[in-house]
Amino acid sequence: MNNENVAVLIIGAGPAGSVAAAYLHSKGYSVKVVEKNIFPRFVIGESLLPRCMDHFEEVGFIEDLKKQGFEVKAGARFLRGDRVCDFDFSKKHTEGWNWTWQVPRADFDKVLTDVLEKRGVDITFEQEVVDVAFGPEGSTTTTKGANGELATVTAKYVIDSSGYGRVLPRLLNLDKPSELPKHSSIFTHVKEINRPEGREGALITFDVVSKDTWLWVIPFSNGTTSIGYVGPTEYLESFEGDTTEKLKEMMKLSNYYHNRFDGLEYSFEPIMIKNFSKSVKQLYGKGYVLTGNSAEFLDPVFSSGVTFATESSLLAAKLIVKELNNERVDWENDYTSYLKEGVNVFASYVKEWYTGNLQTIFFHEHENPEVKRQICAVSAGYVWDKTNPFVKNHDRLIRTVAHIANMEMD
Ligand SMILES: Cc1cc2nc3c(=O)[nH]c(=O)nc-3n(C[C@H](O)[C@H](O)[C@H](O)COP(=O)(O)OP(=O)(O)OC[C@H]3O[C@@H](n4cnc5c(N)ncnc54)[C@H](O)[C@@H]3O)c2cc1C
């Protein structure tokens, strides 16, 4: 059996794995990425946040990404009936990137792995991690190739960036039930023949059809648009038929978008991901760290997935470099507590979205520009900036402001 030895083994070549690999490689450490699929491969998670641009910039991905001409996302629109809430990332409380992209992830993630390979990073595709054993000196990971051949990699550290594969949570029994309501999603892509001209055609939109059910519309620069519904699992399951029939029926719920997408053929049979929220008991252990979706996933409503993936993987890579340099790392404080701060902010937003409180603020007829700038910074992913009252007091302020807004409406 083939055996290799590296300082750091990364499981999965999505944004989390690619950012970590880029950082470790740039610091001169031997790193290997093992990826189950061949790229390009489909994955959901197409609306990025400005915050993740900081991470891509830090590891030198931005210039290659810019060359692709992905659709620029300079804000996001939320609709509910005739009410509109438009966020413009240039009008936000926190300094930082004012734009990002909305991307077909197959193409986007392929750019990242191509750049890594050009830099000489060892990525092996079609290698599925099937086992990881931890010992006093590190770990031995067993992978299985496309023809069933087994290989091993010994490494001081394993970064689990396996996304929905959730390799270490499954192998080490780290899964923990999420505190969020059980929600699911059905989505596909459509080739838009008659996409509206200009901004309307390119605008990323979240159309709220009821308090807990909404549709995303994410147009890409290649003429394809991603459409997907999110709602309570039981509700999505109550629609009859296969996923195509379910999604077609659900598209009728959107007054705004029904005509635009009516009759268009779906590029692939809609995918349904049930009960997508995930959590874990711990984010690290001796010789390993969990990043991205493998660690935590909340809800797509604020498009925080990729940003959390790159925030966590870049931090994990930096802390591993410190340890490899024999510096002391306080993983509980420097990793778990830091990430939990941001996750907790997003979690409050997700919870308050589904209680309706956040929607009350978004769709209130008298906009408070200062409140909007602060919420906009959160929706851009800047959830660690304590100068923002909507970050610092995230667990209370949404309820308080919604309460005031409700009183004004009475
Ligand atoms: C319905 C829905 C909508 C979403 N929308 C958004 C959105 O708009 N914006 C956003 O930012 N996020 C969104 N997300 C979240 C987003 O999909 C993830 O957060 C993001 O892809 C995480 O990146 P990652 O690098 O952690 O994992 P991934 O991108 O999933 O990459 C993980 C990689 O690991 C590989 N892998 C898995 N198992 C193994 C194994 N055993 N061995 C080797 N390799 C393995 C996989 O093949 C994959 O390539 C959404 C999620 C859902 C459920």
Give φ, ψ of 325 to 5 degrees.
-90, 15
Task: Determine which residue's CA is closest to atom 18 belonging to ligand 1.
Answer: 305
CA torsion angle 302 227 197 254 (round to 10): -90
183-273: in CATH 3.20.20.140: no
**What homologous superfamily is domain 2-74+100-177+278-341 in, according to CATH?**
FAD/NAD(P)-binding domain (3.50.50.60)
Q: How far is the CA of 76 from the centre of ligand 1 (A)?
A: 21
Residue 381, ligand 1, Cβ within 6 A? no
Distance 91 CA to ligand 1 centre (A): 29
Is the pLDDT confidence value at 302 over 80? Answer: yes
Q: Looking at ligand 1, which residue's alpha carbon is closest to its atom 53?
A: 276
Q: With contact defined as beta carbons under 8 Å apart, do 196 and 257 qualify?
A: no
Our measurement of the distance from residue 399's CA atom to the centroid of its chain's CA atoms, rounded to an integer in Å, reads 26
Mean pLDDT over 35-39 rounds to: 98
State the Cα–Cα distance between residues 32 and 387, nearest whole angstrom: 39
List where CATH 3.30.9.100 sits in the chain: 183-273
Domain with CATH 3.50.50.60 in the chain: 2-74+100-177+278-341
| Residue 98 amino acid letter | N
Give the span between the Cα atoms of 53 and 26, in whole angstroms: 18
Indicate whether 407 pLDDT > 90: no
> Given this model, what pLDDT does residue 143 score?
98
Taking Cα atoms as reference points, which of 9, 14, 13, 27 lies closest to residue 134?
9
Model pTM above 0.85: yes
408 pLDDT exceeds 80?
A: no
Q: Please tell me the residue having the least CA distance from ligand 1 atom 27.
A: 163
Res 410: pLDDT: 65
Tell whether ligand 1 has an atom less than 6 A from the beta carbon of residue 62: no
Alpha-carbon dihedral of residues 242, 248, 249, 252, nearest 10 degrees?
170
| Model pLDDT for residues 231-263, shown as the tens digit of each residue | 999 999 999 999 999 999 999 999 999 999 999
**Does any ligand 1 atom lie closer than 6 A to the CB of residue 302?**
no
Rg (CA), the chain: 21
Q: Which is the closest atom of ligand 1 to the Cα of 17?
A: 25
The tokens for 158 are 């394993």
* Average pLDDT over the chain, rounded to an integer: 96
pLDDT of 405 > 90? The answer is: no
Angle between helices 338-355 and 305-324 (to 10 degrees): 170
User: Given ligand 1 and candidates 34, 39, 43, which is best to mutate, with the most ligand atoms within 8 Å of its CB?
Assistant: 43
**pLDDT of 395:** 86
**Binding site membership of 123 for ligand 1 (Cβ less than 6 Å):** no
Give yes or no for residue 150 having a pLDDT over 90.
yes
Q: Is the CB of 47 under 6 A from ligand 1?
A: yes
What integer is the mean pLDDT of 298-310?
94
User: Nearest Cα to 271, choosing from 189, 214, 215, 188?
Assistant: 188
Whether 307 shows a pLDDT value over 70: the answer reads yes
**pLDDT over threshold 80, residue 88:** yes
Cis peptide before 40 (omega within 30 of 0): yes
**Residue-wise pLDDT tens digits, 91-130:** 999 999 999 999 999 999 999 999 999 999 999 999 999 9
- Rounded to whole angstroms, the Cα distance separating 397 from 350 reads 14
